Structure 1
Amino acid sequence: MPDTSPRVLIVHATKNGSTAEIAEHIGEVLTKAACAVTVRPASDTRTRVDDHDAVVIGGGLYAGRWHRNARGFARRNARALRGMPVWLFSSGPLDASAAERDIPPVPGVRRIADRIDARGHITFGGRLDENARGRMARMIVNSGKGGDFRDFAQITAWAEGIARELRSDGRTGRAGQGF
């Protein structure tokens, strides 16, 4: 009997690793929900979208923009992404706001979501610690505004929603998960 597990590609674009850790966690949740998961950096140009049934794209937010590798991945694969279930996530707020309320996608992510007909987007809190690279990042940490604001219960619930939707629509329907 052939394997009918949904094949889900999760790509991430990150500067300091926080978004990659979120992507890995989403992958673990989807794997537990009987999905066949591949997690890759968005910059990996060998990654083939058409080998998968669904895609999750995650990007860190920097100065109100999605990481350039997430934008590039979506642009390079726009045609294939339009024909499949796609979800987007952003990570970045360095406070509890993402866990307390729904934060809409920044304008550039909204344009990507519209272009590829994404099923949904969510913003998760970010992480910035003393090992962060870049002058601005170090200034933020040194000012006392760094920390880990990711809510893994929220991330788990979101990923479980994706798994439920993939099971309910046979991987190709158009159920909720809105913006």
Structure 2
Amino acid sequence: MEEILVAYATKMGSTREIAEAIAERIRSAAHEVTVQEAALVQSVAPYKAIVVGSALYAGRWHREAVKLLKRNEELLSRRPVWLFHSGPLGAELTPQRAPKVVRELAARIGADEPVTFGGRLTPETAVGFIAKKMARGEMAGDFRDWDKIALWANMIAERLVAAR
């Protein structure tokens, strides 16, 4: 059984970069970590613990992250699971409540509701007409708080060490 899976669903790459940063922090605590797109995860059976992250668009999680949770609900309920989403933009980040389906899945698998991390929207990474238009306005920028992400990942690593 492998140790930790960090799965993510992203549209413009920001959530993937957050997932990679989380994985690196957990690796630094001597854990084996696999980072993979949620769409490519067929089963969580090989893993002792799972982190799942999704981009948050218009209050919704990426479809592939939700599918991963639904498809693996029974196995996830028997493992430590942490959830996060990214996407809110602006200097004053307000934690965003997860969509109802994600809150319900989190409750059934015994996970806390997702933690919110800021997102990134830049002209270079924007995908789609609306995002490209927004990337030229006041919502443009990189609002990810790497220190907050590192602290959260360290908390996960510490809990995993304590569980050994």
Aligned residue identity for 1:83 = R
Aligned-partner residue type, residue 53 of structure 1: K
Aligned residues of 2:59 and 2:98 also touching (Cα < 8 A): no
SS in 2 for 1:97: coil
Alignment of 1:1-179 (within 5 A): 7-46=3-42, 48-98=43-93, 102-119=95-112, 121-131=114-124, 132-170=126-164
Give secondary structure in 2 for the equivalent of 1:94. Answer: coil
Task: Give me the whole-angstrom Cα distance separating, in 2, the residues matched to 1:92 and 1:107.
Answer: 17
Q: Distance in 1 between matches of 2:145 and 2:122?
A: 16
Once the 2 structures are TM-superposed, how far is the Cα of residue 73 of structure 1 from its aligned partner?
A: 0.7
Unaligned runs of 5+ in 2: none
Return the letter of the residue paired with 2:128: G
User: SS of 1:34's equivalent?
Assistant: coil
Distance in 2 (CA, whole Å) between partners of 1:43 and 1:18 is: 16
Any idea what the Cα deviations from partners look like across 1:13-69, whole Å, max 9, x if unmatched?
A: 0000000000000000000011100000001044x3111110000000011001111
Superposition deviation, residue 104 in structure 1: 3.8
Alignment deviations for residues 116-162 of structure 1 (CA, whole Å, 9 cap, x no partner):
21145210000011031111111211223111000000000000000
RMSD of equivalent CA atoms: 1.8
Q: How many residues align?
A: 163
8 Å Cα contact 1:65-1:108 kept in structure 2: no
Query: What is the CA–CA distance in structure 2 between the aligned matches of 1:119 and 1:64, rounded to whole Å?
Result: 18
Q: 1:15 to 1:102 in 2, by over 3 A?
A: closer
Q: Which 5+ residue runs of structure 1 have no aligned equivalent? A: 171-179
Residue range with higher mean Cα deviation, 82-91 or 107-116? 107-116
